[in-house]
Chain A
Amino acid sequence: MADEATARWSCRGLSKRFAAPVLRGIDLDLAPGEILALLGANGAGKSTLGRIVAGLLRADQGTMFLEGQPFAPRDKRHAERLGVHIVQQELNRIGTLDVAENLFLNRLPHRFGWIDRRKLEAQATAALEAVGLNDLPLDLPVGQLGIGERQLLEIAAALAQDCRLLILDEPTAALAPPQVSRLFERLAILRHRGTAMIYVSHRLDEIRRIADRVAILRDGVVTDSGAASAFDVERAVEAMSGRSAVPAGTTARPTSTPTSISMSTERLDDRFADRPMLLEVRRLQAPPRVRQVDLQVRAGEIVGLAGLVGSGRTETLRAIFGADRARQGSVRIAGRAKERPLRSPRAAVRAGLGMVPEDRRAEGLLLPASIIDNVTLGKTESGETSFGWLRFDRRRRAVTRAAERTDVRCRDVDQAVVDLSGGNQQKVLVSRWLRHDARVLLVDEPTRGIDVDAKRTLHRVLREWVGNDRGLVVVSSDLDELFELADTIVVMVEGRTVLSAPRRSVDARTLLERAIDVAEDENEREPQR
């Protein structure tokens, strides 16, 4: 470990909050040529930290140092000028421009205002060789590349520049194993030259291959750190979950259990077994993200869908709801004769499903419209029209009642939804579905970015709505939320459901283990194919 003066980069007391605190007083040091892996569950603050270092976000408190100098990048450009680069998960490339242009967009070589194409192509060729994309045509529009190639392009763009500090945020999420190996070779060369790196990932095997040191984040705090070689799954999971103790009365699953991709259903003392089945999803496939999903929801049951970012949870809900086309599998819904997957959200709603999407502002709400218009969208009670004309008085009264039920804090129901806080917007969206006669509601990250008070209200509303005869599927990256709401926990890894168990028999540790170690397992196996 280095101190502030000799370190390549360090930070002291770094804090950041959005709706809730995300980082709480982070202290880290990074020596030249050192690779520090940041590990943590979803929402632990890894990406936020990376984004602050790269100048994409600003810390609320705390200081950073770059080679002993105070370091407070104004924006990404400023950070890059100081030699700090980031490779992000989101692919910020311009699809209509070609590969060479994208690589050097902010510094195209030129002569008298004309682009020096020959020089550009020479530089681009060199940059692409570094990541093993030797045979990629330089004049191919980036929009035609696959997701893995785009990710490599992103990495090539960062590697092509002189950098003192490189931040890699889940760089391998879209890469095949040979590409990963290639990337690691390249990173090793960079390390040798003295580039320090922050490597954000949740793939433990990769971290052990490439990183020198590991820091584990949980709820915005570093809970454990040390040499990478000293970390095994056990220690990492313990630091990530903060729950080493297994709840009394349950048996911990032995960690050495050989992991299999097949679904294990552990319904030991299932109090839902004799309840009527509301939704049964079998072998659902909607490539590329949903590879094999099995899911059951019985009357009165709340199913929590857990998994790491990119495990296909959102896509699973969308495929069940008919928002994305499923290729194979069956979706049985109580009262519906057919078994084939639903073809449209409309069909899903008619069959008794509802969905609260992940991005409520972009996919759920009509922002400039009133609460009335938002709540009544898609469902108008027969009493609310006469001869085809809407009866505003009745609609207003009905929506006012609905808004009271979900505790929407507003001036009145004519208020535009865009003026409400995130929590109240979410309550409006949930109110819409409570008007429907849905039997099963699929909710995606119901309380992300929402204050504690609204969160509690939403949980109460959802639980009351489910009662004894309806069902709920909740996707959440917030483990506490899952454990609080769900009766049954289903874990997804890489588009597959790998575990379904009553909440009481699962703890955070088991859950994280299942979400991580199968991913690891699969990675190790893949190169042998």
Chain B
Amino acid sequence: MDDQQPTERTESPHGAAEAPRANGRRWAGWIDLIGLTVSIAALVMVIGALQPRFLSTDQWSSIANQIPELLVIVIGMTLVLIVGGIDLSVGSVMALSSAVIGVLLERKLGLIVAVPAGIAAGAVCGAINGGISIGLRVPSFIVTLGMLQGARGLAYLLTDSQTVYLGKKIGSIASPLPGIGVSTAFLVALLLAIVAQLLLGRTILGRHLVAIGTNEGAVRLSGIRVWPAKLFPFVLVGAMAGLAGWFSSARLSSVNPNEGNGIELSAIAAVVIGGTSLMGGRGSVTASFLGVVLVAVLTSGLAALNVSEPYKLLITGGVIVAAVLVDVLRRRESR
């Protein structure tokens, strides 16, 4: 009798035959990251072969210093997409936050007041987006489309539709640090990405976000209160847009109410290139980070190759669609 027990187990209807598929699933996350890294490396090599200047350190720090705004927004956007939402208002919220920062600095208040106020303004916008969308069950697409207009309007009101020059008052967070060439803003963005990825994978809240995106009804029936977990990514992406507003005004030493126009689309593109699902339930901050790097390398590379603007757009568009297509096809195969 004792011998028979294990035999029965291995003969269960879903033993050996399904193991390889399940194994593929298990490593799917790593394959995403490796695939993205290889693509980026290949891109760098091709562009570097055509234009050796592209491989210089200067070029690299220049790329690193252009992306912190997009990067922090992408962190929040990834989590919003994971719960099955979307935020189209990040660009406008970014402008609003930098306008708040600019106005407060103009009034002789220090960075210590202005920056938290700017980030808080972003978080409030995010809370409004999330609150309306969850509380009244309006698709976040619609609510944030409204915020896209409204926050931009507020930014114009605060700045009187003018670009406000700030000079040294805004501080040096976006300037390259002597010695390493990248800015504090980039390092902050990197740190936040790491924390967000850990939060997603290793905390109860993070697991709830993925679970809600996968099957919200099941999460509710398991006795979890869904709304706080669902609200969190919206508030986070708002705060991140606020942070991005600070980074961009520091980089430009000024506040421009047109700042961040269209950044929501770059952010969604980067997140999707990283393999996060627009339907929710699947995503990784690390992969989104690599998505941002891929887009940034491509853009600077095409500039370094003196490709004209129309072709730049065509190629970037093609790469976004191709990346998502590869991802979709691969997943379909592994099902």
Does residue B35 face the partner (Cβ distance < 8 Å to A)?
no
Could you tell me which residues of chain A, from 470 to 519, have a CB within 8 Å of some CB in chain B? Answer: none
Query: Is the CB–CB distance between B14 and A365 below 8 Å?
Result: no
Task: Given A357-B221, A363-B221, A409-B12, answer yes or no on A373-B207 (Cβ-Cβ < 8 Å).
Answer: yes
Does A147 lie at the interface of the complex (its beta carbon under 8 Å from any beta carbon of B)?
no
Q: Which of B21-29, B49-57, B145-153, B284-292 contacts A (4 or more CB under 8 A)?
A: B21-29
B14 near A389 with CB under 8 A, answer: no
Is B330 located at the chain interface by the 8 A CB criterion? Answer: no
A254 sits at the interface (CB 8 A): no
Answer yes or no: B316 CB below 8 A from chain A CBs. Answer: no
How far does the alpha carbon of A410 sit from the alpha carbon of B12 in the complex, in Å?
A: 9
Residues of B within 8 A of A380 (CB): 204
CB distance from A35 to the nearest CB of B (A): 41
Chain A CB within 8 A of B62 CB:
no
A411 and B224 CA atoms in complex are apart in Å by 28
Tell me if A416 and B22 are in contact (CB < 8 A). yes
Asked whether A345 lies within 8 Å of B14 as measured between CB atoms, the reply is no
Question: Is A420 located at the chain interface by the 8 A CB criterion?
Answer: yes
Give chain A residues whose Cβ lies under 8 Å from the Cβ of B223. 345-346, 348-350, 354, 378-379, 436
Report how many A-B pairs have Cβ atoms within 8 Å.
Answer: 98
A431-453 with Cβ < 8 A to chain B: 432, 436, 451
* Smallest beta-carbon distance B244→chain A, Å: 26
Determine whether the beta carbon of B214 is less than 8 Å from that of A369: yes
Q: Which of B14, B214, B219 contacts A409 (CB 8 A)?
A: B14
Determine whether the beta carbon of A432 is less than 8 Å from that of B207.
Answer: no
Contact across chains for A421 and B218 when beta carbons are under 8 A apart: no
CA distance A415 to B281 in the complex (A): 17
A426 within 8 Å of B (CB atoms): no
Min CB distance, A362 to chain B, in Å? 7
- Contact between B282 and A390 (Cβ–Cβ < 8 Å)? no
Q: Tell whether A377 pairs with B22 under 8 Å between CB atoms, given A369-B211, A419-B14, A421-B13.
A: no
**Residues in B neighbouring A369, C-beta threshold 8 A:** 210-211, 214
Query: Is there a chain B Cβ closer than 8 Å to A173's Cβ?
Result: no
What's the nearest-Cβ distance from chain A to residue B46, in Å?
Answer: 35
Q: Is the CB of A345 within 8 A of B222?
A: yes
Complex interface: chain A residues within 8 A of B25 (CB): 416, 419
A373 lies within 8 A of B26 (CB): no
List the A side residues contacting B210 at CB < 8 Å. 366, 369, 373
For window 218-265 of B, CB contacts with A under 8 Å fall at 218-225
Please, which residues of chain A bring their CB within 8 A of the CB of B39?
none
A364 and B204 in contact (CB under 8 A), knowing A369-B210, A373-B211, A378-B223? no
Tally of contact residues, A, Cβ under 8 A: 43
Please report which residues of chain A, range 352-381, place their CB below 8 angstroms from some CB of chain B when the two chains form the complex: 354-355, 357, 362-369, 373, 376-380
Q: Is the CB of B224 within 8 A of A377?
A: yes
List A contacts of B202 (CB < 8 A).
389-390, 392
Give chain B's interface secondary structure class. helix
A292 contacts B by Cβ under 8 Å:
no
Contact of B281 among A368, A385, A388 (CB under 8 A): A368
Interface residues of B in 181-230 (CB under 8 A from A): 198, 202-204, 207, 210-211, 214-215, 217-225
Residues of B with C-beta under 8 A to A348: 223
Tell whether A234 is near chain B: CB-to-CB under 8 Å: no
In the bound complex, CA of A349 to CA of B203 (Å): 21
Residue contact B14 to A424, C-beta cutoff 8 Å: yes
Smallest CB separation, B306 vs chain A (Å) = 45
Once bound together, how far apart are the Cα atoms of A355 and B223, in whole Å? 9
Q: A419 touches which one: B18, B214, B220, B282 (CB < 8 A)?
A: B18
> With a CB–CB cut-off of 8 A, which chain A residues contact B15?
409
Closest to A356 in B: B221
Contact in complex: A421, B14 (CB < 8 Å): yes
Closest Cβ neighbor of A420 among chain B residues: B14
- Whole-angstrom distance from the CB of B227 to the nearest CB of chain A? 10
Q: Which residues of B contact A419 (CB under 8 A)?
A: 14, 18, 21-22, 25
Asked if A524 is an interface residue, CB under 8 A from chain B, the answer is no
Residues of B within 8 A of A379 (CB): 223
Given A368-B214, A409-B12, A420-B14, also A378-B281 (CB < 8 A)? no
Tell me, in angstroms, the Cα distance from A350 to B224 when the chains sit together. 10
Contact A377 B14 (CB under 8 A): no
Question: B221 and A385: CB pair below 8 A?
Answer: no
Once the chains bind, are A411 and B19 in contact (CB under 8 Å)? yes
Most-contacted residue by chain B among A363, A377, A416, A419 (CB, 10 A): A377
Complex contact B211–A363 (CB within 8 A): no
Contact yes or no, B203 A388, CB < 8 A: yes
Q: Which B residues, 1 to 60, have Cβ-Cβ distances below 8 Å to chain A?
A: 9, 12-15, 18-19, 21-22, 25-26
Residues from chain B with a CB closer than 8 A to the CB of A436 are: 223
Closest to B204 in A: A380
CA distance in complex: A321, B211 (Å): 21
| A366 x B14 contact (CB < 8 A) | no
A-B contact pairs, 23 of them (CB 8 A): A321-B221, A323-B220, A345-B220, A345-B221, A345-B223, A346-B223, A349-B222, A363-B215, A364-B218, A365-B215, A366-B281, A368-B282, A369-B211, A377-B218, A377-B222, A380-B204, A388-B204, A411-B19, A416-B22, A419-B18, A419-B21, A419-B25, A451-B13
Known: A378-B224, A390-B203. 9 other contacts (CB 8 A): A344-B220, A350-B223, A357-B221, A364-B221, A366-B210, A366-B281, A377-B224, A389-B203, A419-B14
Instruction: Pick the 8 closest A-B CB pairs, nearest first.
Output: A349-B223, A378-B222, A409-B12, A366-B214, A377-B222, A378-B223, A346-B225, A415-B22
